[in-house]
Structure 1
Amino acid sequence: MTGSEGLLVDVVWTNDKLGTRIRVALWLHSEVGEGNRFNKQQLRKAIPGIEQVDRRMRDLRPAGWVIKTYRDMASLGPDELYLEKVGTHIWEPGQRSVGLRTISGRLRREVMERDNHRCVRCGISAGEEYPDESGSHARLTLGHVTPHKHGSAAQLEDLVTECARCNETARHLTGVQLSAEQVWDRIQELPRREKTKLLTWMVADRRAATETEQIWARYRQIPAAHRDALKKQLGIALGSGS
């Protein structure tokens, strides 16, 4: 990017005649930059007087922007965010609608219900800690079965539930990634029954949930006080031998 282009960006993000989503993208691009941290207070101060400005920031993710929270990175504070990747330059002509989704709250609930509130790729539930990344917890989102459908009026069959980590490309994953050879070595160590199960997941590109896992995912959706009550109730039931 040339110096003149940088100056243009610096001026444009302050233009309150632009849409909030575009202004947020411009501010992140010019004032934060890839590989840097920021917080919500800075964003609200930069673009004041806008309700739900945080949501407009989240709306950038379907356009290829990778913005991580403390749920994705254990090193971040509760109000900190990390701009890992600048996605589509939605302020450019012809790019302004990229990533916009017309997904209703009802459709979102239907997709989550169908997928048992679990990531169909790795099977993790909302709020669970990643087994290979201590301190980082899963955040569920919706992904498109066919990536090019981003921005379209998606239907139930076009969408799947994914955790934020699986929703991003492999090069954006956090944690140590194994090579194909290392994964194959582990596959070979599995008993034949487990290999057959794994192949079924590979073919379907999703991990099938057992009945127990489905109940676990539903359990995770209810309020904490109710979870505690059920936990005690099950403990009593097992203790009584019933």
Structure 2
Amino acid sequence: MADVEPSWRDESLGARIRVALWLRDEVKEGGVFSKASIREAIKGTEQVDRRMRDLRPAGWVILTYRDKPSLQPDQLYLEKIGRPVWEPEHRAAGLRQISAKTKRYVYERDGHMCRRCGTAAGERYADDPGSRARLTLGHVNPHKSGGGSSAEDLITECARCNETVKHLTGAQMTKGQVWDRMTELPLQGKRHLLAWMKADFRPLNPAEKVWGLYRQLPAAAREELEGDLEKLMKS
């Protein structure tokens, strides 16, 4: 009896495998698709965009409108199908295993805050109060295929920044727009910003570091600490 060809509709398969099979069967090399279409196909799966990105180190070439100007901002182009990750011998292709020890070290090193926007875990976004930040790990060079998994290769990012940096969601400002924001800063602000640029790191003050640690705690513990600190300040 011949083996049954796996299908992206098989919900028992992992999300990365289902995404690969969907791209192979529904999009095919040279095909254009949207992020909305893949989310619609692979329903009930969190971070389906990330599962698609996980195919790139396995040789899958997926271009965005920044790589291929003829695309619309919400479109992607499947230029090349890489290794068949649905086959058992290729399922780990391109995956980088990050140890729990490394994850813990990176989160602590970065103060449990997104290195790109400074938002702490569970904190509301200033421009989107209805959403709260969820921390994850990203690569210092997000476009480097097969990037390493050592602490030096990783930074703490919130999920929103992680997606935007990899050109899969959102729209980034232009160089000119960022420059306009820079020139609007007071002199002291420009000095701070230049120092952060040169160090490629924004140091946190003691209160910010404790804030990042505080945001990691369960809601009940945070509420207790808020009351304790309030009492301490009144004593």
Q: What's the TM-score once normalised by structure 2's chain length?
A: 0.66
Supply the distance in 2 between the matched residues of 1:144 and 1:197 (Cα, whole angstroms).
24
Residue 195 (structure 2) aligns with = 200
Residue 165 (structure 1) aligns with = 160
| Change in 2 beyond 3 A, CA 1:89/1:224 | farther
Give runs of aligned pairs for residues 184-195 of structure 1, distance below 5 A.
184-195=179-190
Q: AA paired with 2:210?
A: I
Residue 49 (structure 1) aligns with = none
Q: How many residues end up aligned between the 2 structures?
A: 201
Contact 2:136 2:158 in 1 (8 A): yes
Q: 1:221 aligns with which of 216, 223, 227?
A: 216
Please state if 1:126 is matched with 2:127. Answer: no
Contact 2:139 2:147 in 1 (8 A): no
Supply the distance in 2 between the matched residues of 1:92 and 1:105 (Cα, whole angstroms).
28
Residue 17 (structure 2) aligns with = 23
Deviation of 1:229 (Å): 0.6
Supply the distance in 2 between the matched residues of 1:130 and 1:86 (Cα, whole angstroms).
31
1:154 counterpart SS class: coil
Residue 69 (structure 2) aligns with = none
Supply the distance in 2 between the matched residues of 1:161 and 1:191 (Cα, whole angstroms).
28
| Change in 2 beyond 3 A, CA 1:138/1:86 | farther
Contact 1:98 1:150 in 2 (8 A): no
Residue 34 (structure 1) aligns with = 35
Deviation of 1:179 (Å): 3.7
C-alpha offsets along residues 55-99 of structure 1, whole Å, 9 cap, x if unaligned?
A: 99855444469xxxxxxxxxxxxxxxxx98688845548x86554
Supply the distance in 1 between the matched residues of 2:176 and 2:146 (Cα, whole angstroms).
36
2:131 counterpart SS class: coil
| Change in 2 beyond 3 A, CA 1:107/1:55 | farther
Supply the distance in 1 between the matched residues of 2:77 and 2:159 (Cα, whole angstroms).
16
| Change in 2 beyond 3 A, CA 1:26/1:124 | same
Deviation of 1:194 (Å): 1.0
Q: 1:111 aligns with which of 106, 109, 112?
A: 106
Q: AA paired with 2:35?
A: E
Residue 76 (structure 1) aligns with = none
Residue 7 (structure 2) aligns with = 13
Contact 1:21 1:57 in 2 (8 A): no
Deviation of 1:12 (Å): 3.8
2:98 counterpart SS class: coil
Question: For structure 1, which segment, 149-158 or 159-168, has the greater mean C-alpha deviation from structure 2 after superposition?
Answer: 149-158
Where do 5+ consecutive residues of structure 1 fail to align? Answer: 1-10, 44-52, 66-82
Q: 2:132 aligns with which of 129, 137, 141?
A: 137
Contact 2:141 2:147 in 1 (8 A): no
C-alpha offsets along residues 125-148 of structure 1, whole Å, 9 cap, x if unaligned?
A: 112122123322222111122346
Contact 1:142 1:162 in 2 (8 A): yes
1:102 counterpart SS class: coil
Where do 5+ consecutive residues of structure 2 fail to align? Answer: 28-32, 58-73
Deviation of 1:121 (Å): 1.6
